[in-house]
Structure 1
Amino acid sequence: MKKIKIGNTDLEVAPINLGGNVFGWTLDEKKSFEILDAFTAKGFNFIDTADMYSYWVDGGEGGQSETILGKWMKERGNRKDIVLATKVGGETGTHPVDTSKKHILEAVDKSLQRLQTDHIDLYYTHFDDEKTPVEETLEAYDEIIKAGKVRYIAASNISPERLEASFAASEKNGLPKYEALQPHYNLMEREGYESNYAALAKKYNLTVFPYWSLAAGFLTGKYRSKEDLNKSVRGGSVEKYLTDKGLGVIAALDKVAEKHNTSQATVSLAWLLAQPQIGAPIASATSESQLQTLFNAPELQLDAEDLALLNNASK
């Protein structure tokens, strides 16, 4: 399987990033282990989590996902084979959004303890409190990189202005630079990334790992009416897509999926992989059949007709 090099790093990842938000939420430890085993057995090596996952289960500080992932890596003895990404700064039931140096230095140690490892490969600014000077945040990263706790840093929910300011501060002060970007981007959510971030990703050679790649499951095609919203715990979050545009995108996905004898989810991920700067879409799975749709995406080569159909429907 062809690997993707992240930014200016020496990290190489397979072209699908497994989302760990379901570990400790819709998947218990045993089922999480089964999904992780099946994912890595196919040669995929990139796993994404966050310190806040899954705080919404009990309103606490989160960490369930990291704990499960850490236990799995320890039991399998495979930490060296995994490119591990986690995040800091997000709001939990007990803590506000915080990108201060104090919080980062405390949070990284907690994540390392839960993950049962001595280093994190890719550490994201998950959310930006927009009040901490970007220099302070980057100085914290500089400290933990020099301590060997983190290898490289990346950005997720940061405004274009603060992202630009971060690169300027990195350049001016010799501080670490973000190597990847994790935006909200999919066939239903194109405007925010394409208008505000795509040019920055190219300018700074950021490898892009879109989250909510399947629009909370809407792009799998299983939600086509309000009655379908009860099919999963995430149903309520896709109601906003039940519009003429949304149903038009589903119709386009149906057509392309039928043409290639594959699933709508696979087509959705293949569309992302065909976009500039995209490295590995992030998608979670709660069954081996869902995993298979992820595995199929890098193998699907959409032609110009497919891409035009999907682009026009999703404008």
Structure 2
Amino acid sequence: MEKIKIGQTDLEAAPINLGGNVFGWTLDEKKSFEILDAFTAGGFNFIDTADMYSFWVDGGSGGQSEKIIGAWLKARGNRENLIIATKVGGATGVHPIDTSKKHILKSVDESLKRLQTDYIDLYYTHYDDEKTPVEETLEAYNEIIKSGKVRYIGASNISPERLTASFDASEKYGLPKYQALQPHYNLVERAYYETNYAPLAEKYGMSVFPYWSLASGFLSGKYRSEADFSKSIRGGGAAKYLNEKGFAVLAALDKISEKHQSAPSTVALAWLLAQPNVGAPVVSATNLFQLEGLLAAPGLSLDNEDLALLNEASK
């Protein structure tokens, strides 16, 4: 399997990024281990989590996902073979969104402890408080990179303006630069990313790892009416896509899936992988059957006719 280089780093990731948001939420530790084992057995090496996952289960401080991944890393002894990404700055039941230096320096040590590792490969600004000077945030990253706690940094929910300001500050003050971008991007959520972020990813050489790459499961095809929402605890998140555009996208996915003897989720991810600068869509799975369809995406090559059909349905 061909791997992609993350930004201007020496990190090489297989083209699917396993999201850990379900660990400690819809999956207990045993089931999480099964998913992680199957993911790595398939030749994939890129695991994504955040310090705030899964605080919403009990309204606490988060960290459940990191703890499960840390326990798995310790049990398997495979840390050096993996790229581990986590995030800082997001709100939990204990603290608000915070990208201050004080918060970052405290949070990185807590994440390292939960992950049972000495370093984080890719550390994201998860959310931006939009009041901390970008130089302060980057100075915090500079400190923890120099100390060996973090290798590289990425950006997730940061406005285009603040992202641009961050690169300006990096250049002006010799501070670390964001190497990866994790935006909301999929077949039914195209316009905002393609208008506002795609040019920045190209300009600054960031690798793009879209989250909600299957639109809360809608692009898997399992939610085609309100009655289907009960199929998953996350089903209600797909409600806003039950419209003319959403049904047109599902029809296109169905047609292409039949042509390639594949699943709609596989096709939706293959479309993302065909987009400029997209390196590894973030996916999550709650069972091995789901995971199998997601991991098949890098092996599905969509032709020009397929891409044109999807582009037209989703525009």
Q: Same fold (TM over 0.5)?
A: yes
In structure 2, the partner of 1:75 is: 75
Q: Which runs of 4+ in 1 moved over 2 A?
A: none
Q: Secondary structure at the match of 2:180?
A: strand
Which deviates the most, 228-237 or 24-33?
228-237
In structure 1, the partner of 2:128 is: 128
- Paired with 2:304 and 2:85, the residues of 1 have a C-alpha distance of 33
- Paired with 2:93 and 2:214, the residues of 1 have a C-alpha distance of 26
In structure 1, the partner of 2:107 is: 107
Kindly state the Cα deviation for residue 124 of structure 1 after the two structures are TM-superposed. 0.1
In structure 2, the partner of 1:263 is: 263
Deviation sequence 1:157-216 (CA, Å, 0-9, x none): 000000000000000000000000000000010011000000000000000000000001
Instruction: Verify: 1:172 aligned to 2:172, yes or no.
Output: yes
Q: Secondary structure at the match of 1:269?
A: helix
Amino acid aligned to 1:6: I
Instruction: Verify: 1:294 aligned to 2:294, yes or no.
Output: yes
Q: Secondary structure at the match of 1:99?
A: coil
Q: Which runs of 5+ in 1 are unaligned?
A: none
**Superposed counterparts of 1:27-176, under 5 Å:** 27-176=27-176
In structure 1, the partner of 2:230 is: 230
Q: How many residues align?
A: 315
- Paired with 1:44 and 1:294, the residues of 2 have a C-alpha distance of 12
In structure 2, the partner of 1:283 is: 283
Kindly state the Cα deviation for residue 294 of structure 1 after the two structures are TM-superposed. 1.3
Kindly state the Cα deviation for residue 295 of structure 1 after the two structures are TM-superposed. 1.5
Q: Secondary structure at the match of 1:122?
A: strand
- Paired with 2:192 and 2:79, the residues of 1 have a C-alpha distance of 35
Kindly state the Cα deviation for residue 40 of structure 1 after the two structures are TM-superposed. 0.2
Q: Which runs of 5+ in 2 are unaligned?
A: none
Q: Percent identity of the aligned residues?
A: 75
Deviation sequence 1:253-308 (CA, Å, 0-9, x none): 00000000000000000000000000000000111111111111000000011001
Normalising by structure 2, we get a TM-score of 1.00
Normalising by structure 1, we get a TM-score of 1.00
In structure 2, the partner of 1:273 is: 273
Instruction: Verify: 1:2 aligned to 2:30, yes or no.
Output: no
- Paired with 1:131 and 1:243, the residues of 2 have a C-alpha distance of 37
In structure 2, the partner of 1:195 is: 195
Amino acid aligned to 1:183: P
- Paired with 2:235 and 2:23, the residues of 1 have a C-alpha distance of 18
Kindly state the Cα deviation for residue 229 of structure 1 after the two structures are TM-superposed. 1.1
Deviation sequence 1:119-147 (CA, Å, 0-9, x none): 00000000000000000000000000000
The alignment's C-alpha RMSD in Å is 0.4
